Amino acid sequence: MRFVIRRLLLFIAALFGISVVVFAALRILPGDVASIMAGINAPASRVAQLREQLGLNRPLIAQYFDWMGALITGDFGTSILTGRSVTALIGTRASITFPLIILGLLIAMAIGLPLGCAAVLARSPRVRAAFHVLAIIGGSVPALWGGLLLILLFGKGVGLIGVLPSQGFPLDGWGKPGSAVLSLILPALTVGIIVGASLMRYTRAALGDLAGSGYIDMARSCGMTRTQAVLYVGLRLAMPQLVSVIGLTFASMITGVMVIENLFALPGIGNGLVIDVGNRDLIAVQSELFLLAAFFLGVGLVVDVLHRMLDPRLKSVSAVMEVDA
């Protein structure tokens, strides 16, 4: 319990730190933000109006507290360029990104976990070497290139077996679920294969360490075969580690799929953020960056706490661990 409270306090402190960093990063833009945003040929009156609208003529401290105050009440501001509220903007984008990464993670788990187990269970050195090569190559492919290769194979128009759409998301969003899902298959497959390779490596490493341990020998000496011992005892003991990895992987996929969203022209969270940064949409970028960072910190917190709950050793010795840590 003490651990949870300490971790929570740290979470709040980190949120504050991140908010200051994000705020500062956006204020030290070289030149005048308002004139950059308004464009090169904008009349002076438009620049002045923008400056007023953004509150840029107020002291920095006041600007920061305006922003924070609004954030706490759940008001994330309004995008200057589109006039839409940032909340609505993120909502629309999330309705694409989350299905994409959930699908991607499912594919990754379907690939990575069984292959990781198989790599540990394999008895033949050749098969083990083949798994090793597979994992290394899978983890070395640039996401962009992986996506391109899949488009070359399956993409409508250019692919060898051109059956799947590779560009864009239906304009009416999830209005037509069929075509929406179809447009997510290739991108999800791309991210699934790449993330699957890394999950495979984690699974193999975690299980492989355990496979040589006394726990597995003990289980086998009680009458389990090696396969049973690795799958029942090994997987259970590796669970805390694997849950952490899968949780953190899931979170990092939100921004990790940025390149893939861009390549497949999906207007998701990452892609939208890149566009907003390019447009210098100050309020939107500021709130989006903060929310994402807060989300990642939150996931880190949840994963740390879960990790302890899954491992009875850590639960009771957490006090000792903290002193040691």
Partner 1 sequence: MSGNSNNHRGTADRLAFASAALRSMWRRAEGKFALIVLALWLAIALVSLIWTPQSLWATDGYHVWAAPSAAHWLGTDGTGADVFSWLMAGSRTNLLIVLLTVIVSAVWGLLLIAAMVTRNSALANTSVVVIDALISIPTVLIALILAVPLGASVAVIVIACGFGYGLNLARVARPAALLASRSAYVESALANGASGWQVLVSHIIPNIVPVLAVQLSLSAGTAVLAESGLTYLGIGVPSGVPSWGHSLATSVKLINVFPLTVLWPGLMVTVVVVALNVFGDVLRDAIDPVANPALRQTVVAAEKEDER
Partner 2 sequence: MSVTVEGLSVVIADKPIVSGIDLNIADGERVGLIGSSGSGKSMISKAMLGLLPLNASVSGSVALGETQVIGAPERELAALRGSYVGTVFQNPAASLNPVMTVAQQIGLPLKLHYDLTTTERAERVAAMLGKVGLAEETANKYPHELSGGQQQRVGIATALITSPRFIIADEPTTALDSITQRQIVDLLTALVDDAGASMLFITHDFSVLARATTRCYVLESGRIVDSGATAEVLADPKTSESKRLVSAARILTLHSADLRNIKEDSHE
Residue closer to partner 2, measured from CB, 33 or 242: 242
- Residues 19-78 within binding reach of partner 2 (CB under 8 A): none
What minimum distance in Å lies between the beta carbon of 27 and partner 1? Answer: 9
Query: Would you state the structure tokens that stand for residue 19, as one six-digit string?
Result: 């908010």
Does 162 bind partner 1 (CB under 8 A)? Our answer is no
What minimum distance in Å lies between the beta carbon of 177 and partner 1? Answer: 29
Three-state secondary-structure class, residue 174: helix
DSSP string covering 33-94: HHHHHH-TT--HHHHHHHHHHHTTTS-HHHHHHHHHHHHHTT---B-TTT--BHHHHHHHHH
Cβ pair 197, 135 in contact under 8 A: yes
Residue closer to partner 1, measured from CB, 176 or 315: 315
Among partner 1, partner 2, none, partner that 151 touches (CB below 5 to 8 angstroms by kind): partner 1
Of 257, 305, 303, 283, the residue nearest 104 (C-alpha): 257
Does 293 bind partner 1 (CB under 8 A)? Our answer is yes
- Residues 244-263 within binding reach of partner 1 (CB under 8 A): 248, 251-252, 255-256, 258-259, 262-263
- Residues 2-41 within binding reach of partner 1 (CB under 8 A): 6-7, 10-11, 14, 18, 21-22, 25-26, 28-30
Does 217 bind partner 2 (CB under 8 A)? Our answer is yes
**CA angle, residues 104, 150, 135, in degrees to nearest 5:** 65
Among partner 1, partner 2, none, partner that 87 touches (CB below 5 to 8 angstroms by kind): none
Does 220 bind partner 2 (CB under 8 A)? Our answer is yes
CB atoms within 10 A of CB 78: 19
Binder among 34, 211, 246, 297 for partner 1 (CB under 8 A)? 297
Does 314 bind partner 1 (CB under 8 A)? Our answer is no
Among partner 2, partner 1, none, partner that 316 touches (CB below 5 to 8 angstroms by kind): partner 2
Among partner 1, partner 2, none, partner that 309 touches (CB below 5 to 8 angstroms by kind): none
- Residues 128-147 within binding reach of partner 1 (CB under 8 A): 136-137, 139-145
CB atoms within 10 A of CB 120: 24
Cβ pair 54, 80 in contact under 8 A: yes
If binding means CB under 8 A, how many residues of this protein chain bind partner 1?
Answer: 55
CB atoms within 10 A of CB 283: 22
Does 322 bind partner 2 (CB under 8 A)? Our answer is no
Q: 278-283 long-range CB contacts below 8 Å, 24 or more apart?
A: 279/37, 279/81, 280/29, 280/33, 280/36, 280/37, 281/37, 281/79, 281/80, 281/81, 281/82, 282/26, 282/33, 282/37, 282/54, 282/80, 283/54, 283/77, 283/78, 283/79, 283/80, 283/86
Cβ pair 173, 95 in contact under 8 A: yes
Cβ pair 192, 103 in contact under 8 A: yes
The β-bridge partners of 78 are 85
Judged by CB under 8 A, the stretch of 80-88, 181-189, 217-225, 253-261 that binds partner 2 is 217-225
Residue closer to partner 1, measured from CB, 152 or 218: 152
Rounded to the nearest 10°, the torsion over CA 150, 151, 156, 158 is -120
Does 236 bind partner 2 (CB under 8 A)? Our answer is yes
Binding site for partner 1 (CB under 8 A): 6-7, 10-11, 14, 18, 21-22, 25-26, 28-30, 136-137, 139-145, 148-149, 151-152, 158, 248, 251-252, 255-256, 258-259, 262-263, 270, 273-274, 277-278, 280, 285, 289, 292-293, 296-297, 299-301, 303-304, 322, 325
Binding site for partner 2 (CB under 8 A): 123, 125, 212-215, 217-228, 233, 236-237, 311-313, 316-317
